[in-house]
Amino acid sequence: MAMVHDELHALIDALSEEEAFQLLQQFRVKVKDGTLDMSWHEEMRKLREELAAEHGPFPSAVDVLREIREERLDGLMGGR
């Protein structure tokens, strides 16, 4: 669950404040009226498992962002 939590945070952090607020409002409405459909999530989980079996495990979004940040900092400090 921690990985999902981290990935959600990374995705939300990439949104503008207005986009994040709109997403929150839409989410609240769907949860309140019971129309939140998570069936797509199961399909994506299966696809991810198939791809991981063929190509190896995927890094989390947080790991990718950390790698990008490290490379950028290395570039700014005269490394690589």
- In contact, 53 and 63? CB cutoff 8 Å: no
Look at residue 76 and tell me if it is in a domain: yes
Question: Domain tally for the chain?
Answer: 1
Q: Which letter does DSSP use for residue 1 in this model?
A: -
d(CA 57, CA 48): 9
Look at residue 16 and tell me if it is in a domain: no
Look at residue 21 and tell me if it is in a domain: no
The parent domain of residue 43 ranges over 36-80
Band (pLDDT 50/70/90 cuts) for residue 78 is: confident
Q: Which residues contact 68 (CB under 8 A, 6 or more apart)?
A: none
Look at residue 69 and tell me if it is in a domain: yes
pLDDT in tens, 39-62: 878 888 898 889 889 999 888 888
CA trace torsion 10, 34, 44, 62 (10° rounding): 10
Look at residue 3 and tell me if it is in a domain: no
Q: What is the mean pLDDT of residues 34-43?
A: 81
Look at residue 28 and tell me if it is in a domain: no
Look at residue 74 and tell me if it is in a domain: yes
pTM of the full structure = 0.43
